[in-house]
Amino acid sequence: MTPPKTVQAGATTPPWHSVIPAEELALYNTIGMGTRSNKPGKAALLIIDVQYRSVSSTSMPIEEAIKEYPTSCGEHGWNAVPHIQSLIAAFRAAGMPVMYPHVAPKKAYDGGRWADKAPAVMTIPPRGYDFVEEVAPIEGDILVPKAHPSAFFGTPLVSYLVDNGVSTVYVTGTTTSGCVRATVVDATSMGFRVIVPQEAVFDRSQTSHAVNLFDMNSKYADVMPVSEAIELLRQSAAGLNASQGV
């Protein structure tokens, strides 16, 4: 696997501040929505659908990428890959699990309602289902094939998390408004704390990306820059090691 690239620290201004009107941000602040939990505990990294079908074979504008794979997010996905690399490196250094919920190759009977809305999802060639090389799993990582948006629906993911003693999930991948959001909502509904490193998730629509980050941060997750998420992970690992006398 290609060594992690050096990435700049995440911006301090959340991406939704240029999209959500100031009066609505003030309203949410008055209500107290968006408070951080700051109780990470043992964590697992979820890398959702980072396959060539989601990013294209090489970085290119989305208008070109969708000619190769209609489900592609093009350059938006490739911009996230170095940040996901950094998170993978941090999780492996901390000895915490890395899990790959991913779209399983589709048979004719797998279309469901998603294919009703976007028939092109049924025509992705086999290469599109391969993991992006720079962030591909290695021996010991956990693969979670899925057929629906949430990484929890119809999969053994919750069992894997419980077996590993996980209380917090870091959710990365795509799309922010689709599979990422569905997974975040299910995770918090099941009692897991959720962190979304903002540069490590992506979407084909940048407006939808920003609005969904805002909504998840307000209700379901702690959305933060990758640099803060990694520091929080290191603090958690140090705390766990201290409690275990390591």
Q: Which of 184, 175, 224, 178 is nearest to 202 (CA)?
A: 175
- Note the helical H segments in the chain: 22-31, 52-55, 62-68, 75-94, 112-117, 157-163, 181-189, 206-219, 226-243
Tell me the HSE value of 114 on the side-chain side, using a 13 A CA sphere.
17
Angle at which helices 181-189 and 206-219 pack, to 10 degrees?
10
Q: How far is CA 78 from CA 63, 118, 135, in A?
A: 14, 23, 11
Task: Please indicate whether residue 73 is annotated as part of the active site.
Answer: no
**What span, in angstroms and rounded, lies between the C-alpha atoms of 184 and 176?**
10
| Catalytic-role residue among 90, 179, 210, 229 | 179
Q: Is the peptide bond prior to 175 cis by the omega test (within 30 degrees of 0)?
A: yes
Tell me, what amino acid is at 113? R
Positions marked catalytic: 179
